[in-house]
Structure 1
């Protein structure tokens, strides 16, 4: 047998040998030269230089990596075509290689017959027998070892089960000691007195630990453990029942210790979250049910009877039962809201204890176990359910039963007060530092919004009722037929009742005041329609007309409404006056409009009488003029007009309160303004008199005395007129002063500067023309101009006349001016200085 080293190497493997095998000894063959030539032309050299094909020659070639790179190269088609060409090239090269070495291959094939195959087969059989003996020798000690290991494992498992079973039994024994009275036969726990020393929280912990051991170590199937499982299950039910009893008792009595004990029991049981969900759900249902029961009309008044006090199925009370049904409904509402408050406070108390209590071992806050991030608080859940039920019942009550709708519409202020008392009570009871309150502002608004449906109806009824009073006070259908003072009092009393019904709630008070505002505007509108504006209403020469009497009545009525309502709102916050200011202003303006035209007519008549002062001759000289004690014709006519106005108009317009000090009505204000205007108008035109002799001064003084007497007795007390009266009293002695005394007289303080300057024209020379003369105006025209211009503008006109006078004097060559000229300049300059200073 030849040695294996002498076996010739197959020449076909040489082109694919790695570079590391190049140094191995080879057997020389006849085709070695041709083989070398062929190897030199091997396509593998070309593949090594190609960036794509070189990957196939790598030792760590990966088909998935190559495919991924080819697909991501952007030209997978060209790569596939190159691979196909390479395969054809290799196939052609191998074919040529085999053909070139055909003889050599055949010679190697013939050498296979000379190999020592039988001896090789014998050697392999010996090797197999040796291996079998070795396997037998090794497995003999392994089998006992494996058996002993299995036995040890079973012993260990049995020991572990025994150990944990004993632990479970010890726990069960402790529970037997704590609950010796648990009935093992029927599973019904006997009543347990927790106060005897049974620690429910610890028992709950033992209960959970027992089942954790059984579940973790799979103790089911052990007879003694299975027997105890039944007992522990009954104990668990007992613990849950007693824990729930303690928890509910603590919530009802708001006892933090009891609530904490109950929560710790269920936390130890691992059932805290589900238990709290059950409790909260129970309270949610309790609150919603209380709302539903309260609005059950079939139960109001005795179960839907048809007799007195009963309520029909439609929600309408039987004959004679309206009052009882209404009282029963309000009683139910109050009980319902009390129940709702109790529910919310109890749940808040539960939430409060959860937020404060920590597990003594893990120090975890119990609230974090119950409420996850983003979940609503317990009180929010309960409150949302209650508000939803309350809103549903309110909507149902407003549509299903006209009787209930009427109760809650007419009694909306009471309903609102009850709801607000509930909200305030809950806020007060849950106002604890460091703890979230039971209700948020949004939650309170939701409850208020639930009864808004009756708010709108109440406000509409309020406006309708007030408008009814207004329409009866000023009916359009019967023009001129006004309501009595008693009915106006009833209207104002109705307004007062509406305000008093809601004054405890600021928001509702504002809403009601807006309805009152609308009603008062309606009253002003109705009154304005009935005000007479024709000639009969404005005439002042004849007796009073029916149109004027009606206008007087309208003014008095509106005046009384304005006064009484204004007095009423003084006791309310300032916002009430703000809400009613617009309507009261319209009422007052309408009342003024009813008599303003008449007062203006009387004033125009009195001014026309005063204007006749310019028809009198106050420049006459002689004793006859001085001794004439008769009243001037214009003053006599003025007195007659004042007496006529007093007897025909003012006596019917003025009330006893008109002359009361500190009380001013519309008529008294208009009368005071008219009296003041008469005095001012008289002084203005008295100052324009020119010429004015000494006898004319006496006559003018008599006229002023007569004027003061006529105005004081028939129009208004002159002492209360203020500046106009002081001006009249100052002008009378002023006309008798010497010109040289005027500049330093204290009388000037009570007179307008225009009156003083105009009077000084009567003391000046004829070529000192007054503005009246210079501009060729009538006294009426000049007076109208003065009404629309101030003192500074009047002074400019007077200054122009003084400048003209000074020019005339210079043109004549006179060396002196009239004494009034420098005095008038002095007084006028003082006006200019005062204006500049101010």
Structure 2
């Protein structure tokens, strides 16, 4: 079978460029010389092997990742493996023939390569001989240098040993000399131990031990013998220094504490010693807290026999019958002792901290506090930049170790809080005592905090307790504070519920019941008045009770026609309202007087509750007062039915009052006898100067009556000279009736002055009005309305111009200010001027320019109270 000619893959490569393929066919081209490259390329271009690259079978053999296993598997699975094998054999023969041709064509080049290999082998033999000679020379040099090196090493070791021995002798001699100094120092004060310089002895002791440990003097017999005495002396120094330190802590002597601390600093044991002292005082504080609330110990100290005899403690923490009073007294005594112990502990720790913050080592100038406490200096600088006032106040809130007092106080507060929670849940007896006696318990804690703050208040030194620390101690007893406030609220609420039951309507409490509530409130305030903070808390609970009282009282108020009638005597419903009003007035006045001496914030706390009491008291009688005032106003409105313009002289000189005034006087007397006398039982009530609800309402009603009368008296038109006399007599009767039966008129202020000014005003000549000082005491609208009576009939008043009834016009006047009233009056004056001008008259009534002048000037100068 003939195979087509196939070109070789390397025919496409340049003849002088090595191919990267690893196939044998491609590697054959590397043996060709450059002189025959062109010829070979031309020959192979037509070689049958060139077709291998494009053959689907043989091209796989040219791939770098050829796998014989994969090719064999593909050939076996193709269905004609015999044909494939035959093709491969033919290809092998073809390649062998091509390879033989290549070898023959490159014969000369291969021979030259072989001669090059022989030359390289000869050169290698020469190099090998030279290396052997060099190695022989190195062995000779090594043998010549080894003996001096050994000699140098031996002498170096000898010199090192000599140096070490010399240093050991020097340090041993120094240690012995220091030990001799220590012996001399101790022997010099053998007769009087107080003369021993503990700090110097401790310094010598520390130097000796430092030399021994640093330079490893162990094994030197004389040093070891001396070291045993040195260690024994160190123990004595520690005992003496601890005595001095303890004595200084107990007596708060800075010199002794400083001496003791200096000794332990010299011994290198300052931090450890201070830690031991802190733990000691902390333990004392924790034990005192635990012992203060030990009910078995309390029972034993109260004579209870340790809980086995009468008066002992039961399993629940409650004393047996007969032992409650003694156990209570013993509990308070132990709490007082605990507070004293906590005070002494914290002051002692603060004293230690104070000395540490001031004491510096005289040689190194190291602050002893820095040795004991690892302070964050970045935090210190940050505190300085914040502008702290004292030298150490910025240490408290920085990173690093906590201050000594903070550590002790935090442990004490934590133990105290846990103990308080424990007895609150486990001992009903202690819970009851501390709940009912919370003011006393709080006072103890507050006194403790105040004593500590006072005794540790030194300029330039941190106080023993910060404000946060105080708050934590107070928070430890908040559980009893909550129970105390709940108990206070419960006691007062029970009283309110007993006198104002929810199921009963229309019942009025007695004076004794009201007095009991007031007394109970006073007792609650007096129990805590020495502490401002606790007082405010109790006042908040009292405020809740007052709101409850106001709600219950409001439920009892009687409403409807029966409560508002004024024609007959007081009805039972009105009497109940009177009683409620008086009771609420009493509560309002008494509670207000209780907080008079307290800070202003106390009044702010109770202000909403007292306002609610005051409002309900007003609501109980306001409708009645409004009904009485409406009746009195209806009587005054009858003034417009009188003929003040046509009265004769005889009628004007009659001493009897007008019919409307007689009716007004009868109504006032009736109100006084049947209503006001019950609300104001004493005729001197209004003269006492005490402004309660009833006197305020009576004052307002009396003022309204005077102003209402003046208003409608000014509207009377026409008004003759005899009518003026009758009106003046009516005003005198009104002043007398109001002053005797309602309220002293001289205490009414502006309304009374207006009444007294209006009486002579009506008799003045029109030309005298503008300069009269009486105008200062009258509202502008009263003067202008009165001037209508002096003008012609065509000068209509707003009442006439708008065709209103006196009542309608009066209601409009109540809703307007003086400026709006003047606008209405000015409109009538403009109408009058228009009529005059329309008739062609050249003169106005003398009243017109006067009203224009007075209206403009009086409204500009009128007080704000008159304008609105």
TM-score between the two structures when normalised by the length of structure 1: 0.79
Deviations 1:334-363 (A, max 9, x none): 211211121112112222222222222222
Residues of 2 paired with 1:703 and 1:129: CA distance? 158
Deviation larger for 653-662 or 405-414: 653-662
Change in 2 beyond 3 A, CA 1:648/1:230: same
Aligned partner of 1:486 in structure 2 is 512
Q: 1:135 to 1:273 in 2, by over 3 A?
A: closer
Moved more, 570-579 or 717-726: 717-726
CA distance in 2, matches of 1:596, 1:747: 34
1:603 aligns with 2:663: no
Q: Deviations over 1:411-458 (max 9, x none)?
A: 222222222222222222222222222222222221122122222222
| Pairing of 1:281-300 with structure 2 (within 5 A) | 281-300=279-298
User: Residue in 2 aligned with 1:820?
Assistant: 847
Tell me what 1:678 maps to. 705
Question: Residue 16 of structure 1 corresponds to which residue in structure 2?
Answer: none
Residues 198 and 738 of structure 1, relative CA distance in 2, 3 Å threshold: closer
For the pair 1:398 / 2:424, whether they are aligned, the reply is yes
Q: 2:324 aligns with which of 318, 322, 325?
A: 322
Structure 1 CA distance for aligned equivalents of residues 156 and 676 of structure 2: 132
Give the distance between the partners of 1:174 and 1:581, measured in 2 at CA. Answer: 81
Residue number in structure 2 paired with 1:542: 568
Q: How many residues end up aligned between the 2 structures?
A: 729
Counterpart-to-counterpart distance in 2, 1:151 and 1:601: 129
Question: For residues 103 and 466 of structure 1, do their structure 2 counterparts lie closer, same or farther at Cα, with a shift above 3 Å needed?
Answer: closer
Deviation at 1:598, TM superposition (A): 0.5
Aligned ranges 1:433-512 → 2 under 5 Å = 433-512=459-538
Alignment partner, residue 638 of structure 2: 612
3-state DSSP of counterpart to 2:307: coil
1:357 aligned partner: 359
Compared CA separation, residues 668 and 226, structure 1 to 2 (3 A) = same
In 2, are the aligned partners of 1:612 and 1:634 still within 8 Å (CA)?
Answer: yes
Confirm whether residue 240 of structure 1 aligns to residue 228 of structure 2. Answer: no
Equivalent residues in 2 for 1:357-756, closer than 5 Å? 357-373=359-375, 374-656=400-682, 658-756=685-783
8 Å Cα contact 2:640/2:716 also seen in 1: yes
Aligned residue number for residue 828 of structure 2: 801
User: Residue deviations 1:614-641, cap 9 Å, x none?
Assistant: 2222232545534544432222221221
SS in 2 for 1:767: coil
What is the alpha-carbon distance in structure 1 between the residues aligned to residue 308 and residue 342 of structure 2?
A: 31
* Cα distance between partner residues in 2 of 1:131 and 1:808: 152
1:257-303 deviation per Cα after TM superposition (whole angstroms, max 9, x unaligned)? 22122222222222222222122112222211211111112211216
Which of 323, 331, 334 is the matching residue for 2:333?
Answer: 331
**Cα shift at 1:808:** 2.4
**Cα distance, 1:159 vs. partner?**
5.8
The 1-side partners of 2:137 and 2:574 are apart by: 153
Q: 1:204 to 1:744 in 2, by over 3 A?
A: closer
The one-character-per-residue Cα deviations of 1:125-161 (angstroms, maximum 9, x if unpaired) are 99999999x899x89x998x99999888777766655
User: Which contiguous aligned blocks of 4+ residues in structure 1 show a shift greater than 6 angstroms?
Assistant: 94-98, 102-112, 124-132, 145-156, 191-194, 835-838
Deviation at 1:551, TM superposition (A): 0.8
2:567 partner SS? coil
Deviations 1:17-61 (A, max 9, x none): xxxxxxxxxxxxxxxxxxxxx9x99xxxxxxxxxxxxxxxxxxxx
Which residue does the alignment assign to 2:795? 768
CA distance in 2, matches of 1:472, 1:762: 63
Deviations 1:482-515 (A, max 9, x none): 3333333332233233233333333222222222
Distance 1:525 1:192, change over 3 A: farther
Q: Is the 8 A contact 1:298 1:313 kept in 2?
A: no
CA contact (8 A) 1:179 1:235 kept: no
Q: Structure 1 residues 741-750 or 391-400, which shifts more?
A: 741-750
Q: Provide the alpha-carbon RMSD of the alignment.
A: 3.7
User: For residues 127 and 333 of structure 1, what CA distance do their matches in structure 2 show?
Assistant: 96
Return the TM-score normalized by structure 2: 0.77
Deviation, 1:370, is 1.6
Preserved CA contact (<8 Å) 1:306 1:317 = no
| Cα drift, residue 671 of structure 1 | 0.9
Please tell me whether the aligned partners of residues 792 and 831 of structure 1 are also in contact (alpha carbons under 8 angstroms). Answer: no
Unaligned runs of 5+ in 2: 1-30, 35-63, 65-108, 376-399
Partner of 1:787: 814
CA separation of 1:629 and 1:362: change in aligned 2, threshold 3 A: closer
Report the CA distance shift for 1:194/1:260 in structure 2 as closer, same or farther (over 3 A).
farther
- Does structure 1 conserve the Cα–Cα contact (< 8 Å) formed by 2:653 and 2:726? no
Q: Equivalents in 2 of 1:697, 1:623: separation in Å?
A: 11
The alpha-carbon deviation at position 774 of structure 1 amounts to 1.2
Task: Indicate the SS of the match to 1:301.
Answer: helix
Tell whether the 8 Å contact from 1:304 to 1:312 is kept in structure 2 after alignment.
Answer: no
The answer (yes or no) to whether the contact 2:635–2:663 under 8 Å persists in 1 is yes
Would you say the 8 A contact 1:309–1:322 is kept in 2? yes
3-state SS in 1 of match to 2:508: coil
Alpha carbons 2:566, 2:624 under 8 Å: kept: yes
Deviates more, 1:245-254 or 1:760-769: 760-769
Query: In structure 2, what is the Cα distance between the partners aligned to 1:573 and 1:130?
Result: 107
The verdict on how the C-alpha distance between 1:223 and 1:541 changes in structure 2, with shifts beyond 3 A counting, is: same
Is the counterpart of residue 340 in structure 1 residue 338 in structure 2? Answer: no
Moved more, 709-718 or 758-767: 758-767
Rate the CA distance shift 1:542–1:204 in 2: closer, same or farther, 3 A: same
Q: More deviation in 437-446 or 477-486? A: 477-486
Secondary structure of the residue that 1:713 maps to in structure 2?
A: helix
Residue 743 of structure 1: how far off its partner (Å): 3.4
- Pairwise mapping of residues 95-114 of structure 1 onto structure 2 (< 5 A)? 99-101=114-116
Residues in 1 aligned to 2:139 and 2:716: alpha-carbon distance in whole angstroms: 165
Structure-to-structure mapping, 1:24-103, within 5 angstroms:
99-101=114-116
Q: What per-residue deviation string (whole Å, max 9, x for no partner) do you get for residues 690-745 of structure 1?
A: 22233333332332222222222211122222222222223233333333333333
Is 1:306–1:318's contact at 8 Å kept on the other side of the alignment?
no
